[in-house]
């Protein structure tokens, strides 16, 4: 990559993808949003309209299509895990070229799927910490005071990923490179799973969870830390608790918002992934198992 503008595809221009696409377009890059016909038509006509306490309110003009038709420098995959398999048809491997693929999805299982679908060396693990919502096609509300991305950068691929990270930083995003992909993915999941499961189970913002359901929060943090250590990643329940105590009390999880809107949830991608790892490594996680069981009940789907 050089200092010339990039061409970046965004597969799934919802809360996360829409914000990233909007920031990159505002910074002078060419952005192509890949979505369903109606959403693509709206975005092509009206652009991405972003309202953010961190980045301000702006409209970014981007391109939109139902399928990728030319090579790109990079492609973000920002659909929900539940829609991933079908959405990938919009981004054929033979069209992608040598662009890196950066998934910003919850959970773990998507990495194997993407590395089967695209050249494995082009798929760069990524995570994002953010609260952002698509309120309508092309309309993005970013409500958290942060938008922090982590990208896996092994020695072999550090240069192109590092250059791409610089472009993202210039657009306003907080980007960190991590050499240990497993540690990076589990660092996100060890926070996300308690956050998503507890806020959704109690239909409460995180501030209510950490006060009225603190004992349950502590139990979940102990269990997720044990599972994380078992898979070979660092984890500490007290460090996690400090993170929960620092974030704004008004924050909700995307899983909670999905339940409120009657959409399918990523329960299996988040809670299920933790339980599968716990079972594989012989780690007991009874509180997490109960929460997943409760949320699997028909009334909570």
Residue 96: in which H helix or E strand, if any? helix 93-96
Q: What is the pLDDT along the chain (301 residues), one digit of tens a residue?
A: 457 999 999 999 999 999 999 999 999 999 999 999 999 999 999 999 999 999 999 999 999 999 999 999 999 999 999 999 999 999 999 999 999 999 999 999 999 999 999 999 899 999 999 999 999 999 999 999 999 999 998 655 567 899 999 999 999 999 999 999 999 999 999 999 999 999 999 999 999 999 999 999 999 999 999 999 999 999 999 999 999 999 999 999 999 999 999 999 999 999 999 999 999 999 999 999 999 999 998 765 5
pLDDT of the residue at 157: 55
> CA distances (Å), 21 to each of 57, 70, 142, 261, in order?
14, 17, 13, 24
**Positive/negative CA dihedral, 159, 164, 170, 172:** negative
Instruction: Classify domain 7-179 at the CATH class level.
Output: alpha beta
pLDDT of the residue at 136: 97
Model confidence, pTM: 0.91
pLDDT of the residue at 297: 85
Domain ranges of the chain: 7-179, 183-296
Q: What is the DSSP string of 91-151?
A: S-HHHHTT-EEEE--SSSTHHHHHHHHS-GGGB--EEEE--EEEEETTEEEE-SS--EEEE
Which CATH code is given to the segment(s) 183-296?
A: 1.10.1040.10
In terms of DSSP bridges, do strands 30-34 and 63-65 run parallel, antiparallel, or are they unpaired?
A: parallel
Length of the chain: 301
**Positive/negative CA dihedral, 41, 149, 186, 156:** positive
């Amino acid at each position: 990559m050089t200092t010339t503008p990039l061409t970046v595809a965004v597969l799934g221009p919802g809360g996360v993808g829409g914000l990233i696409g909007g920031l990159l377009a505002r910074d002078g890059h060419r952005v192509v949003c890949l979505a369903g016909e109606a959403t693509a038509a709206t975005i092509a006509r009206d652009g991405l309209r972003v309202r953010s306490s961190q980045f301000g309110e702006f409209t970014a003009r981007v391109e939109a299509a139902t399928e990728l038709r030319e090579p790109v420098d990079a492609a973000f995959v920002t659909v929900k895990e539940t829609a991933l398999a079908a959405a990938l048809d919009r981004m054929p491997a033979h069209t992608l070229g040598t662009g890196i693929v950066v998934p910003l999805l919850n959970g773990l299982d998507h990495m194997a799927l993407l590395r089967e679908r695209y050249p494995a060396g082009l798929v760069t693990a990524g995570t994002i910490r953010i609260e952002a919502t698509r309120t309508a096609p092309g309309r993005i509300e970013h409500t958290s005071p942060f938008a922090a991305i982590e990208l896996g950068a092994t020695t072999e691929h550090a240069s192109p990923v590092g250059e791409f990270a610089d472009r993202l930083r210039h657009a306003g995003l907080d980007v960190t490179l991590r050499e240990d992909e497993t540690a990076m993915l589990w660092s996100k999941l060890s926070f996300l799973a308690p956050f998503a499961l507890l806020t959704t189970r109690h239909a409460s913002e995180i501030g209510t969870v950490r006060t009225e359901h603190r004992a349950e929060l502590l139990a979940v943090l102990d269990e997720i830390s044990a599972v994380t250590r078992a898979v070979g990643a660092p984890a500490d329940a007290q460090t996690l608790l400090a993170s929960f105590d620092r974030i704004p009390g008004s924050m909700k999880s995307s899983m909670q918002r999905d339940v409120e809107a009657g959409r399918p949830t990523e329960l299996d991608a988040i809670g299920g992934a933790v339980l599968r790892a716990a079972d594989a490594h012989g780690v007991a996680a009874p509180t997490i198992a109960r929460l997943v069981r409760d949320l699997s009940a028909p009334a909570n789907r």
